[in-house]
Amino acid sequence: HELLAGQVAGAVVDARAYAAERARAEALAELDRAKTTFFSDVSHELRTPLTLLLAPITDALTDAGGELPPAVRDQLALALRNGQRLKRLVDDLLEFVSIESGRTAAVRVETDLATATAELAGVLRAAAERAGLTLTVDCPPLPRPAAVDPRMWEKVVLNLVANAVKYTFVGGITVSLRAQGDEVVLRVSDTGVGIPAAELPALFERFHRVTDSPARSREGTGLGLALVRELAALHGGTADVESEPGVGSTFTVRLPFGEPDTTAVPLPGTAA
């Protein structure tokens, strides 16, 4: 009897712990939803006045730029740069919350990913070379097209290559793409400053930045890598990093080749 009583007591404790755990998980999910809504509302509210603020500054610099006293022009240019930076942050936030709230789905189309990736990496070649870095593109043709959302793939590649340029001072960046089983594997390696091991676990969290990391520019929001991981996840894929301080970093994105989205349109006369 004692054994049975003990088992019943144990089960009651288990059930209570389970109920408490569930309540906690629900409260956290609710909090997360509230946060997403808050971010979304604030970002929308910021975007319009920001656009209205930037337009006249842009106009003043383009229309009357030559006639303005140099000091005024410099100050306007500074205001414009910072305003644009704020706008990028707001745009990133909006993109982020729309993914988190499930409003954004990947629209997969069959893509020649090797060509697309080489072209995207090429967009940043000039920036890399201006910084005295080499940019090597190693994207041989893949055995078959991959079904990805092209706009999302663009974000993934540009974010990773831009980061590599930003955090590399000597050497260069290699962008490689390979098929591995059912997956496409993108690797962006650099010979940059690297990331301390203690920072790696939180690196893909939103707003996480390595505060004492030397960088080519301090511009950034800490949203880039979080977006990369979310976009990979929307394709059923993953994003990871390996890094050694002073040696360099390799970011790896794996996506299933996937199937394109086909919207079933019934042929005329065949509808049930």
Asked if 190 interacts with ligand ADP (CB under 6 A), we say yes
- Torsional sign, CA 262, 157, 137, 253: negative
Options 24-32, 123-131, 144-152, 190-198: segment touching ligand ADP (CB under 6 A): 190-198
60 by Cβ neighbours in 10 Å (0-12 / 13-18 / 19+) ranks as middle
From 6-14, 83-91, 109-117, 201-209, span contacting ligand ADP (CB under 6 A) = 201-209
Shortest spacing between CB 163 and ligand ADP, in angstroms: 4
Q: How far is the CB of 48 from ligand ADP (least distance, A)?
A: 24
95 binds ligand ADP (CB under 6 A): no
Nearer to ligand ADP, 89 or 255 (CB): 89
Among 178, 220, 252, 256, binds ligand ADP (CB under 6 A): 220
Does 163 contact ligand ADP by CB under 6 A?
A: yes
Contact predicate 115/150, CB 8 Å: no
Angle between helices 224-234 and 150-166 (to 10 degrees): 150
176 is a site residue for ligand ADP (CB under 6 A): no
Q: Residue 208, Cβ neighbours under 10 Å: how many?
A: 15
Q: How far is the CB of 158 from ligand ADP (least distance, A)?
A: 11
Contact residues: ligand ADP, CB under 6 A: 163-164, 167, 190, 192-195, 203, 208-210, 213, 220-226, 249
